[in-house]
Chain A
Amino acid sequence: MWTWFHRLASPPSFYRFADRLAPWLLGLGLLLLAVGCYGGLFIAPADYQQGDAFRVIYVHVPAAALSLFVYVLMAVAGAIALVWRMKLAECAVVAAAPIGASFTALALVTGMLWGKPTWGAYWVWDARLTSELVLLFLYLGVIGLNQAYSDARTAARACAWLALVGVVNVPIVHYSVQWWNSLHQGSTILSLEAVRDPKISSSMLWPLLLTLSGSFAFFFAVWLRRLQNEVVARERGANWVRDCVLQAPLAAVSNEQSGMTGPELDPSMQSRQGRQRHGEPRGAD
């Protein structure tokens, strides 16, 4: 088992492993999300108090759960990166931040869209909402730090520190509804109490469980893809990149270049790649 993990930490092994796993996770995630959303929109009955407004739960809760989970994941990867100086863990922090930020923003905006019909206001400076907003700023901080350094490893270590320090906000977000008076409702499913005594009818619960599991599968799929990109960008000079990465897709990219049918390079990407060709060590966005 440990040998397998140890082998997985090497970039070529990880690249091949991610290549095999990501499509399955993506397919599973999209399928679960499609069925869950259909169930949430058309099959689950309307709530007796909130009416159809409660259907936002099927987008809001998975996004909020992911926003917390991804930050904890970044903190764990950050600790591994700082203690064992593992390159893959450094990449994991950097690759997870934009995904986490997007789901945190989604949780905030869908929360606002749910808040307006139920509370009568899009935003209140409530403990849950404010701590979730702080979480978004922490994610943006990690993304900004990663962009601020020209050396990828220094940037990743700075990001790891911020992920570790910022993880203190995660229990604050989660327990804010218990610690302070809050307009926001307590945990519906993500607590031991809720597991023992469900607060939601099973006819409303199953689509939520599907969208939750689908979102997590989707996250892991896109995280693996981003991780692959980070690893390749850092290891661009290595032999395994030429052997594993450039073998199959090279023909497709060459054809595309001659016809110029694919998407143009992002200007920031072009400038970074220009810098890299001129000997600067920065390898990843």
Chain B
Amino acid sequence: MNLVAMNNVVMVLYYLISAFFLIAVVRNFVKTKDPQEAVLFSIVMIPFVLRILRLK
């Protein structure tokens, strides 16, 4: 496997990891009973969404 192919595989894994953490944060957001935590989780989601959408 050449360098570009290896890089592409790792990049796809990286997006999957981002999606995994986004799902985890969304799950915590839904389950929490603490309003402060809910605000915190909603802020934490922002960079993951931007990355998955390939905006940043």
**A and B held together in a complex:** no
